[in-house]
Homo-oligomer: A and B are copies of this chain.
């Protein structure tokens, strides 16, 4: 199991864009922990990673939206640092601090 960070920018100028944003967020909560509005930390194996990537690719508009994946490996405890407020998003697991 490795830590994979998913970050996204979805263009919300249109109603379609706002719908895509909601769908992306809704899918991501199935795979990890929402740590900021558009940032999810997912501890998963490569199969789950392919799965979520495939799902998100179907949702976004590749001409307008941006998705990025950061692979932080399995030794991730010291690779994340937090400063400031922790908002209460829908929690799926413990928050990495």
Contact = CB atoms under 8 A, between A and B. Distances in A.
Interface string A23-60: 00000000000011111000000000000010011001
Contacts of A57: 83
Q: How many copies does the complex hold?
A: 2
A69 to B, nearest CB: 4
A8 B39 CA distance: 9
Contacts of A70: 5, 70, 72, 79-81
Nearest to A53: B83
Given A5-B5, A36-B38, A85 B66 contact: yes
Nearest to A82: B68
Contacts of A86: 66
